[in-house]
Structure 1
Amino acid sequence: MNAPLAPAELAGRRLVLALSGGVACYKAAELLRLLVKAGAEVTVMMSEAAQQFIGVATMQALSGRPVHVTAWDEATPNHMPHIALGREAEALLIAPASADLMARLAQGRADELLSLTALARPRERCALLLAPAMNREMWSHPATQRNVAQLRADGAEILGPDHGAQACGETGEGRMLEPPALLDAVIAHFRPKSLAGCELLITAGPTFEPIDPVRGLTNRSSGKMGFALARAAAEAGARVTLVAGPVHLPTPAGVLRVDVQTADDMLQAVLPRAQALGPQGVFIATAAVADWRPATLAPHKLKKNGKKVPPQLELSENEDILARVAALPAPPFCVGFAAESEHLEAHAREKLVRKKLPLVVGNLGPATFGHDDNSLLLVDAQGAAPLPADGSRADKRVLACALVAEIARRRAAWLQP
């Protein structure tokens, strides 16, 4: 069965992508392609300097729309593209945003198309997103930092910059974020902030319980669902800490990551943080934590040495992290995950009752481990409901956003006196 297509997360969104001068203009073509692929309707405008780095024809071909390059565009109604474009867009994304352009924006100057449009846009419904790109010395200069602070105070969102190799041959901060990171930032901008101000702690991935210095007990959890939830929660405005077992996944933007190996490592990382959350916080236990660990760790690799009888492993039970958190004197809103191979609702309900949880999210482990899609079953004291509602499979990012919205709704009701 083919997995569902990745969601068009910007479907119907109207954006203006503006390019000021800089070598990073070459990244704008890929950014434009990603925005359009995500469903956005993108109109491009380019400064005179930007046209020295990338051609108008390229951006027009990728957007499928005319590219605006002058404030005197006769094709625009009333010859006022800076008015018309700002009225039509939900966000003005300037990428790259040069030091010179940001200085003009901070001062409220309006002497060319990009700054005119930024100044004339209806601020309450057209956001200003800036992706700085410049030499490290230019970025760190006090004048630039004053301008950035002023732009933030005026309501602009500053996306980046990144740290890395620069066109001048130097290395440092000032490099424009890569197109996928900018796409994620734009998607996050449009997400409802249903968890604004909330502290959220989440576990993800497997644990690894060593038998000897080489081998260990683990499971097939990829961590993808937990990482998708961490990203969705951050996009919903939460301050997210992700405690991750041994997985090879990039950390979602805006998320604090703590890497662990064993179940005990995870317990030690989670408990003090969960205690600090209190009833206002949220704890989501998506990690597939090993129930058992070897009672002793062999100091060296266990060898066959021609023996036909395998070594006998004595196992000790790991502590139940979710149960410990739920039993705190002032626990956060706790969400458990039940990865089962059969009788999903029955096992999920047993976990709900035994650990005294407000919500358990069930899924069939063999059908989801390592996959990019999944289907969930939400189990609470009132009953059970599938997610998606029709019981089909959906992309884990889609499921994560829907589940975060559901958790936010339930948390709000849980906090009511």
Structure 2
Amino acid sequence: MLTPPGLTDRRILLIVSGSISAYKALELTRLLRKAGAAVTGVLTAGGARFVTREALAGITGQRVHDDLWAAEAEIGHIRLARAPDAVVVAPASADLLAKMANGLADDLASTILLATRAPVLVAPAMNPAMWDHPATRANIATLRARGIGVVGPGVGAMAEPESGPGRLAEPDEILAAVAGLLAPASRALAGRHALVTSGPTHEPIDPVRYIANRSSGKQGHAIAAALAALGARVTLVSGPVAVPDPPGVTLRRVESAREMLAACEAALPADIAVMAAAVADWRVAEAATQKLKKAPGADAPTLTMALNPDILATLSRHARRPGLVIGFAAETERVVEHAVAKRQRKGCDWILANDVSGDVMGGDANRIHLVTADGVEDWPEMPKAAVAARLAERIATTLA
């Protein structure tokens, strides 16, 4: 895994609240320490139900704090609040997010969060119904408005026999977010405008049916966040997705390929264009205005297809062409060979090729082959957040 820069000798206060996913805080701590950070752990009463003081202390190498009054006597909660370079809450329960949004301070963790002047990052984790509740949504909006960073939650299977948004972000995603929080110093893309597309497009058949690709938007959204973390002004043009909006970007929501192209052209000029969306190649030439009915014994309707606009090729040859145009090639065979041909055919500068015959589309990891005019670089499999961070750094180096 690519270790983000900017964490050496940084002091991180890690607050672990109550969630079945709290075990991931131990791996996050290990990654933070591997990156050179010093970590101090704080457990809420709920967090202590899932992670022991001894386990967290063993990985941090420091005493773990969990009692407001003991801290007052021995070290002082104000010192805990003021000492770190960043405060990270992972996992952040619905209860603790509500306390933060409403300024409550009835235990050590909430008192620290109210008293700290350090940047704060929260990684929510909860049941999908709790995440979708209007109270939680309002609390998250309040925290974002106050400048608190939010990473995740992800979408997937939960501890309960159900699935949806609410999974704690993976430790490497949180690590990348912490690095971005602490490294505006590496604002190598400050003053640059980046245009990113993400997710699928939906091409209507009738008012209730559509043609689409199996894109989750995870990779495109991660790239937008990584470019913003390096100081770029980012316009994210996204098809319909269920992943959270990345912080610090201008979001343009679209449905169809034609809408996506129009939004991209409206966003020009740009210095960088990363076309990560899985755009449908075809659409129904004439979408029905009423639902197509299935009549007993009748044959299936015949759909006449039309080509969608080629957004990558259009931007690569545009009168206001971005200085660096990057496309994706989602392939199931002869991945690099097809990507090399696609780069030449489309006229873009780089192609990121990946094999999507597995669970890449919708999954959390990716294995990239970077195709440029100079050749092909084979990147190891890594989380999509790490792919995004590596690509953003590569873009910054190239433009520099």
Structure 1 length-normalised TM: 0.64
User: Deviation at 1:165?
Assistant: 5.2
Which of the residues 365, 368, 372 maps onto 1:380? 372
Give the structure 1 partner of residue 201 of structure 2: 207
**In the alignment, does 2:361 pair up with 1:369?**
yes
Give the structure 2 partner of residue 339 of structure 1: 330
**In the alignment, does 2:390 pair up with 1:396?**
no
Provide closer, same or farther for how the CA distance between residues 72 and 134 of structure 1 changes in structure 2, counting only shifts above 3 A. closer
State the alpha-carbon separation in 2 of the partners of residues 53 and 225 from structure 1.
Answer: 32
What amino acid does structure 2 have at the position aligned with 1:229? Answer: I
The alignment-based identity, stated in percent, is: 34
Which of the residues 210, 226, 233 maps onto 2:227? 233
Which of the residues 219, 232, 255 maps onto 2:249? 255
Which of the residues 33, 36, 39 maps onto 2:32? 39
**In the alignment, does 2:343 pair up with 1:352?**
yes
State the alpha-carbon separation in 2 of the partners of residues 285 and 301 from structure 1.
Answer: 32
State the alpha-carbon separation in 2 of the partners of residues 203 and 372 from structure 1.
Answer: 18
Give the structure 2 partner of residue 245 of structure 1: 239
User: Deviation at 1:306?
Assistant: 2.6
Which of the residues 178, 185, 189 maps onto 1:195? 189
When Rg is computed on C-alpha atoms for both structures, the one with the higher figure is 1
User: Deviation at 1:210?
Assistant: 0.8
Give the structure 2 partner of residue 94 of structure 1: none
Give the structure 2 partner of residue 113 of structure 1: 79
Deviations 1:77-111 (A, max 9, x none): xxxx89xxxxxxxxxxxxxxxxxx9xxxxxxxxxx
State the alpha-carbon separation in 2 of the partners of residues 25 and 364 from structure 1.
Answer: 36
State the alpha-carbon separation in 2 of the partners of residues 130 and 327 from structure 1.
Answer: 44
Give the structure 1 partner of residue 259 of structure 2: 265
Deviations 1:335-384 (A, max 9, x none): 01111222323322222222322111112232322222221221122222
User: Deviation at 1:198?
Assistant: 2.1
Give the structure 2 partner of residue 326 of structure 1: 316
3-state SS, counterpart of residue 354 of structure 2: strand
3-state SS, counterpart of residue 270 of structure 1: helix
Contact persistence 1:10–1:35 (CA under 8 A) = no
Which of the residues 272, 284, 297 maps onto 2:287? 297
**Number of matched residues?**
331
Alignment of 1:2-17 (within 5 A): 16=11
Contact persistence 1:32–1:63 (CA under 8 A) = no
Provide closer, same or farther for how the CA distance between residues 134 and 127 of structure 1 changes in structure 2, counting only shifts above 3 A. closer
Contact persistence 1:194–1:237 (CA under 8 A) = yes
Provide closer, same or farther for how the CA distance between residues 383 and 71 of structure 1 changes in structure 2, counting only shifts above 3 A. same
Q: Superposition RMSD on alpha carbons, in Å?
A: 4.5
Give the structure 2 partner of residue 3 of structure 1: none
Contact persistence 2:13–2:88 (CA under 8 A) = no
Contact persistence 2:188–2:396 (CA under 8 A) = yes
Contact persistence 2:192–2:233 (CA under 8 A) = yes
User: Deviation at 1:53?
Assistant: 11
What amino acid does structure 2 have at the position aligned with 1:113? Answer: R
Listed as ranges, the gaps of 5+ residues in structure 2 are 90-96, 105-113, 125-133, 153-173
Provide closer, same or farther for how the CA distance between residues 330 and 7 of structure 1 changes in structure 2, counting only shifts above 3 A. closer
User: Deviation at 1:240?
Assistant: 1.9
Contact persistence 1:11–1:39 (CA under 8 A) = no
3-state SS, counterpart of residue 265 of structure 1: helix
3-state SS, counterpart of residue 269 of structure 1: helix
What amino acid does structure 2 have at the position aligned with 1:395? Answer: P
State the alpha-carbon separation in 2 of the partners of residues 259 and 400 from structure 1.
Answer: 21
User: Deviation at 1:194?
Assistant: 3.4
User: Deviation at 1:257?
Assistant: 2.2
State the alpha-carbon separation in 2 of the partners of residues 32 and 211 from structure 1.
Answer: 45
What amino acid does structure 1 have at the position aligned with 2:366? Answer: N
User: Deviation at 1:25?
Assistant: 9.2
**In the alignment, does 2:309 pair up with 1:312?**
no
User: Deviation at 1:222?
Assistant: 2.2
Deviations 1:298-357 (A, max 9, x none): 122222313453222112221111222222223211101111222323322222222322
State the alpha-carbon separation in 2 of the partners of residues 198 and 209 from structure 1.
Answer: 32
Provide closer, same or farther for how the CA distance between residues 61 and 218 of structure 1 changes in structure 2, counting only shifts above 3 A. closer
What amino acid does structure 1 have at the position aligned with 2:330? Answer: A
Give the structure 2 partner of residue 121 of structure 1: none
3-state SS, counterpart of residue 240 of structure 2: coil
User: Deviation at 1:404?
Assistant: 1.8
State the alpha-carbon separation in 1 of the partners of residues 54 and 6 from structure 2.
Answer: 20
User: Deviation at 1:136?
Assistant: 5.3
User: Deviation at 1:283?
Assistant: 0.5
State the alpha-carbon separation in 2 of the partners of residues 171 and 345 from structure 1.
Answer: 42
**In the alignment, does 2:63 pair up with 1:66?**
yes
